[in-house]
Structure 1
């Protein structure tokens, strides 16, 4: 019996090649799109799960409130937490601290050649790091971290520095002048490259010696590993007491500092903190992509049901004969099921071929690799097998039930009564397709508009035509100390300004697009210090003008202040942005000018600063984050990390060559690097841009599959109305009147679908846009435009069918029973 079912199914599909081809292509594209999306979702949701007992690892986060308003919610924390938290929490198995630095690393190979690189992912860790995390070794083991002045390299960095040489036991230098780092380290081990699905993306690990840490500076990332079975909620309830125990002596009102345990596995998709150690994903995006995958599959199988229903009309006499000779409904359903199974199986084969063909394009689109995981993991193949069986059964059920319900005598006479229930089901399926298509078009327009808005909105600072060059390290370049180094920096700037295509050069401790990790416990003079830390930005006097930042009150820095670095009052001058004015509680910008802030260092020495001006807020980070309160200080050479060089739009290659030449003349040992500031800033939107591209591609595929379904429905309608159309044509009906006859029912369905899609789209987009602190409003023009586009597509497809019908001989249709 089974063999007979398969044989008849195969013959039927082979006989109806055109019908089978449309169905297989639709299913193949739908399943391929689903496979790609599932791969993307699995990759995003699998971050950091490769660590042993990853569910017991947590990050300690820190937040701060002012007047019951959240003003800081940071992934970074006090450096003293790592060394102390295990003592106060017996349920913690291990704890570790991480400090991330940009460093110049250099090493000498066996030929005596010294190579140096600027590495942005250098992690300074304690000996407990590999007790919390599990990273695989190529050479050596975790005991290497127990030895001071050790460095562990990843495989890629080891090859970059030493080629195929064994680096174990060799020495290398790690330097960051602004952080006070000048180390000579021994290479103790080599690690495998960090997995792509890790939020810790270091190139090397450095360990020096254990230090007690500070309760004043928020400069490290702290992770803990609980013993299995620990009730983390109970541990969380003890955090306020822990905070008061160690911070109570520092300030009044320290209860505004709150600590929390954040699960490691939730960091990549669910974390919404500042000062993240790496760029995270977005959990909402993942859910949206899962929704799109489901919608694409629904559309593909709805198309299959509609086209199967259409083609089943041609098999009416076959079904009638089967019923006459005693075939039961169950047998007919099984026959259609095996036909559907064969189609679905071939559709999966097509899907796999499409995945192989477009694999590189998908990897370029998403930035993830479709490796062997894709083909061997049961989490993909079991759902795929279930999809094959369930989809085949459900999609064959309705056509088989429809035909098996007819009176055999009527079927043999060629009369196929279309009941109201059958018409209703088909209309519901069509409406569902249109709802999905219209919603996806609205979503595509809105996502594109939001991304464009973020990139083009005036953020209060003009970054155009600014090339950024990371500053070299003092100790690397000079044996005469910082003074000579500062003179070289000034010489570098002066040589650039002689070039006519360079319009400005400014040095600074940071650049827009980076977290301001330099924080200080500023307070208003004679005010009670509440242990609040404020971001500090050290800038050259040209910074405000070069980046075209508006002055709100007072005055700004000028170059005459560089040599003296003091006001006539003897106080160091500072600027505030508008957010800082509000954070310090000044009534307005004008009232802040002339006031004083103080800052106490680790030895208890107090420094006084005079506010000489207030500048307009600008977005230091992306528009997804709130504006940071910033205190601006004049750079004095000790805090220079970057040069921003504004160049003319013409002769750009020549300008870059001139910058490189001058840099190498002044800093011959340091590696030269550069990047464009606006491009660097927009990298913060990488996840959003990636989601926008992915959404657009797969929404387009869904709409294409819908077009196949619309084509099938047009065939069905023309089949039903063949005689009516033929008679109208004989009586002189025009092509346009025939088009109106075919399309009027679809227009009603599209209007109904639009009403539902508009409501669903409005709700979904509101949820998505809530993730942006600065966002566009819902543009209802997109809603109308989406409906117009669907109507236009319908007119094209049905118009083509009307033209085809107009070419046919009407007498053939009239003679048919």
Structure 2
């Protein structure tokens, strides 16, 4: 019997090849889109889950508010980890990580630039699951000048994973002994380092400063439920250990500090939440946001619903044409139960074909999707163990739902009424079908509006005046490795034709370097009149090289001796301090700690105010900045004007080689560094466009099929109208207007919802576009145009048909 159902279903589907193809293609596209998005979402949600104790690991954060200044840190004080383990019996282990930045590593006669190096405590292997291939995890990083490599890194430098005992050289002079090799850190980790260097090699790690924050600190608890208890104890803990230094630095006790409206607090972030729910200062890498998981999950659901609705719509449309078939079958003795099974078999078979196509298409397109999304997702056997059952459930559920209408409704027809043609129905008679078309295009319009808003925001980011000119600025990232010769390198480049200006400092708007200091408006160090700005050491060429503009006063002048105690502040700092009218010649004080206030306070005078410039993501407001005239050789920025850039680059490289033959120059262009900051937004925008396009294609496939059905139902009417003189335009208009009305209704319903949702997304940006009326109008016009074009193909075909053939008895 089952074999007969399958055979009959196959014959019926083959007979109606057009509808079958549209159904399978639309559903396959929907399932493919949904499957790729599900893989993306699962990958995002799996971050740090590779750790055996992931639910018991927490990062300790710091929140600081001083006056009206507020900073949320992902880093903590140097002595915190050791102290917490000693103070709390339920803290099983604590460890610290400090990113090392760009480092040059010797590989034979070559020098390789490495950026994934971290200083860590020996306890890191007791907190995180980093399986060791060779070496002892308990002692690997216990001694100074020791390093643990990942498997890939060991193969890269020593062609073997048995690298324990070998020596690796950093920055031409620092020798480190390899004491262990671990498996590569999984891609789904909030940190990805290739070198783990003992923190014992870093003298600053033994600092006892409690008012400094520069170590990512993690604790492993006996049970995750201790987290609330631990957080509740933090105020007393901070008062005990930081109180004395607070008194020395800020001249007030911890209680006085809290009562003044300021605060210095700690809190915990679960390890599982770092990747998607943390955007603090001092993160170990770029994190994503849970918002994108919600957005893409919604898109996946919407696309799958559009595909399923499309399938159901076409199935119900076709069912009217099969009413006579049902009548004949009943007259010949077929039971209702057999008819139900027959319709369901056809529906499930179409769904099965579409699912198989979607699965193999997702495997084929996964590399392309990974490139687009910046992922490295791999379909493993373990993943297939849950993907295949889910797809099987979709086959059964979607197939049953799509086939339920013809199965239960048509099978109940009385054969006499059917054979007399009393149940013939046109397009207008189906409220369900109209509702489903409105739903499809409502979702499509919502996605179109979302795509336009995201595109406008990304375009706004790219074109906004950032307060500096990032175009044609070459940044030599590792200038610090020249040491005392860095200033010579700068001077030699300044003399090259094609070089307009140079500046030497690692503090750049696109570098991510951060440094905060506390300043006061008067010598009494009243914290209510304090500021906690970014404090950057720059040279006198910094502002001209970055093409910044002065709002008040002047730039630094290296020929004026008093500028050694001068500062330039940005407009945000001037506004924060109440210096709006004239900040020039105002004074700022910086406490250096100690018992005697004036003896340990440095006085600075403001010589100028630079116009605000963006140095964070546009998600964040511009913070106060204080620029000090000082020496920093972290990087060298070069503004070029040469029309022959390759020749100029050769000259720059030659100058570098002349000063440091064994070190390779490491450079980038500032506009590329800027684009990196917004890479995740750009990827999201691209993915959004692709899946929105697929959703529209799926909806159009359904509309195409329904238009064909509507034209078929009204074949005789069209023939009569043509005989009576109707032209092609009027017939096309007649067939199209019902569909266009539904699309307009979809626009009316979806536009307010799309505006609300995208406005919520834009709230994440401190600097953002406003959703203009034309965005909604363009989305609506686009949807209507797409619908008209889709419908017109079938409408024109029907209108051009020979009326003689149309009026024949069918």
Which category describes the TM-score, using the shorter chain as reference length?
A: over 0.9
For 2:81, the equivalent position in structure 1 comes to 82
Q: Which moved more, 1:626-635 or 1:730-739?
A: 626-635
For 1:168, the equivalent position in structure 2 comes to 164
For 1:710, the equivalent position in structure 2 comes to 703
Q: Which moved more, 1:294-303 or 1:45-54?
A: 294-303
2-structure distance, mates of 1:363, 1:241 = 48
- How many angstroms does 1:355 deviate by? 1.7
Instruction: Check the 8 A contact 2:509/2:615 in 1, yes or no.
Output: yes
Instruction: Check the 8 A contact 1:624/1:773 in 2, yes or no.
Output: yes
Question: 1:238/1:428 Cα in 2 relative to 1: closer, same or farther (>3 Å)?
Answer: same
Size of the alignment, in residue pairs? 788
For 1:179, the equivalent position in structure 2 comes to none
3-state DSSP class of the match of 1:97?
A: strand
TM-score norm. by structure 1 comes to 0.92
Instruction: Check the 8 A contact 1:552/1:614 in 2, yes or no.
Output: yes
Aligned CA RMSD, in angstroms, stands at 2.4
For 2:582, the equivalent position in structure 1 comes to 590
Instruction: Check the 8 A contact 2:51/2:129 in 1, yes or no.
Output: yes
- How many angstroms does 1:170 deviate by? 1.9
3-state DSSP class of the match of 1:198?
A: coil
- How many angstroms does 1:532 deviate by? 7.1
2-structure distance, mates of 1:589, 1:542 = 26
3-state DSSP class of the match of 1:505?
A: strand
For 2:356, the equivalent position in structure 1 comes to 349
3-state DSSP class of the match of 1:218?
A: coil
Q: Alpha-carbon deviations, 1:186-231, whole Å to 9, x = none?
A: 1111122221111111121111426254212211111111112533
Q: State which of 122, 141, 144 in structure 2 corresponds to 1:145.
A: 141
Residue 772 of structure 1 pairs with residue 765 of structure 2: yes
After TM superposition, list the pairs within 5 Å mapping 1:486-635 onto structure 2: 486=484, 488-528=485-525, 530=527, 534-561=533-560, 564=561, 566-567=562-563, 572-583=565-576, 585-588=577-580, 590-591=582-583, 593-600=585-592, 606-635=601-630
Q: State which of 237, 241, 251 in structure 1 corresponds to 2:236.
A: 241
Residue 126 of structure 1 pairs with residue 117 of structure 2: no
For 2:802, the equivalent position in structure 1 comes to 809
Question: 1:815/1:576 Cα in 2 relative to 1: closer, same or farther (>3 Å)?
Answer: same
Q: State which of 94, 113, 135 in structure 1 corresponds to 2:130.
A: 135
Residue 720 of structure 1 pairs with residue 713 of structure 2: yes
2-structure distance, mates of 1:786, 1:613 = 48
3-state DSSP class of the match of 2:47?
A: coil
3-state DSSP class of the match of 2:380?
A: helix
Instruction: Check the 8 A contact 1:520/1:599 in 2, yes or no.
Output: no
After TM superposition, list the pairs within 5 Å mapping 1:269-348 onto structure 2: 269-325=276-332, 327-348=334-355
After TM superposition, list the pairs within 5 Å mapping 1:677-716 onto structure 2: 677-716=670-709
TM-score norm. by structure 2 comes to 0.93
For 2:14, the equivalent position in structure 1 comes to 14
2-structure distance, mates of 1:374, 1:390 = 24
Q: Alpha-carbon deviations, 1:503-530, whole Å to 9, x = none?
A: 1111113221233333334334423365
Q: Which moved more, 1:681-690 or 1:164-173?
A: 164-173
Q: State which of 399, 420, 426 in structure 2 corresponds to 1:413.
A: 420
- How many angstroms does 1:402 deviate by? 3.4
For 1:5, the equivalent position in structure 2 comes to 5
1-structure distance, mates of 2:787, 2:480 = 65
Instruction: Check the 8 A contact 1:575/1:613 in 2, yes or no.
Output: yes
Instruction: Check the 8 A contact 1:714/1:801 in 2, yes or no.
Output: yes
Instruction: Check the 8 A contact 1:574/1:634 in 2, yes or no.
Output: yes
Q: Alpha-carbon deviations, 1:516-555, whole Å to 9, x = none?
A: 3333343344233659754221112111112122212222
- How many angstroms does 1:175 deviate by? 4.6
- How many angstroms does 1:312 deviate by? 2.5
Q: Alpha-carbon deviations, 1:442-476, whole Å to 9, x = none?
A: 111111001111121111111110010023445xx
Q: State which of 212, 219, 241 in structure 2 corresponds to 1:217.
A: 212
For 1:757, the equivalent position in structure 2 comes to 750
1-structure distance, mates of 2:595, 2:494 = 41
Please list every run of 5 or more consecutive structure 2 residues that lacks an aligned counterpart in the other structure. none
3-state DSSP class of the match of 2:434?
A: helix
Instruction: Check the 8 A contact 2:93/2:220 in 1, yes or no.
Output: yes
Instruction: Check the 8 A contact 1:599/1:608 in 2, yes or no.
Output: no
2-structure distance, mates of 1:237, 1:208 = 30
2-structure distance, mates of 1:92, 1:462 = 49
1-structure distance, mates of 2:151, 2:257 = 45
Q: Which moved more, 1:416-425 or 1:777-786?
A: 416-425
Residue 794 of structure 1 pairs with residue 787 of structure 2: yes
2-structure distance, mates of 1:591, 1:359 = 57
For 1:675, the equivalent position in structure 2 comes to 668
2-structure distance, mates of 1:421, 1:334 = 28
For 1:430, the equivalent position in structure 2 comes to 437
- How many angstroms does 1:589 deviate by? 5.9
For 2:183, the equivalent position in structure 1 comes to 192
2-structure distance, mates of 1:264, 1:654 = 49
Q: Which moved more, 1:196-205 or 1:97-106?
A: 97-106
- How many angstroms does 1:148 deviate by? 2.8
Instruction: Check the 8 A contact 1:554/1:612 in 2, yes or no.
Output: yes
Instruction: Check the 8 A contact 2:94/2:217 in 1, yes or no.
Output: yes
Instruction: Check the 8 A contact 1:267/1:280 in 2, yes or no.
Output: yes
After TM superposition, list the pairs within 5 Å mapping 1:340-489 onto structure 2: 340-373=347-380, 376-418=383-425, 423-473=430-480, 485-486=483-484, 488-489=485-486
- How many angstroms does 1:422 deviate by? 5.9
Residue 102 of structure 1 pairs with residue 95 of structure 2: no
3-state DSSP class of the match of 1:781?
A: helix
Question: 1:208/1:315 Cα in 2 relative to 1: closer, same or farther (>3 Å)?
Answer: closer
